[in-house]
Amino acid sequence: MSFFIEFWKFLRIRKKYWLLPILFVLVLFGGLVVLTQGSAIAPFIYTIF
């Protein structure tokens, strides 16, 4: 959890708020791949990448 706190402090100090949407999309896609890894939806998701 300390990583996220330090990352948030970095974003606030350096004013790099544009990184938040990129990070959010990466976490969303990562969670999608992990959650659908063994399901029937997996082949359709892998075609996106």
As a whole number, mean pLDDT of residues 11-15 equals 88
Mean pLDDT, range 9-16, rounded to an integer: 88
The pTM of this model reads: 0.58
Q: Where are the alpha helices (DSSP H) in the chain?
A: 2-14, 19-35, 42-46
Over the chain, what is the mean pLDDT? 82
User: What are 22-45's pLDDT values in tens digits?
Assistant: 989 988 888 877 777 766 766 776
Angstrom distance (rounded) from CA 1 to CA 35: 22
> With contact defined as beta carbons under 8 Å apart, do 45 and 35 qualify?
no
CA angle, 7 then 23 then 5, to 5°: 20
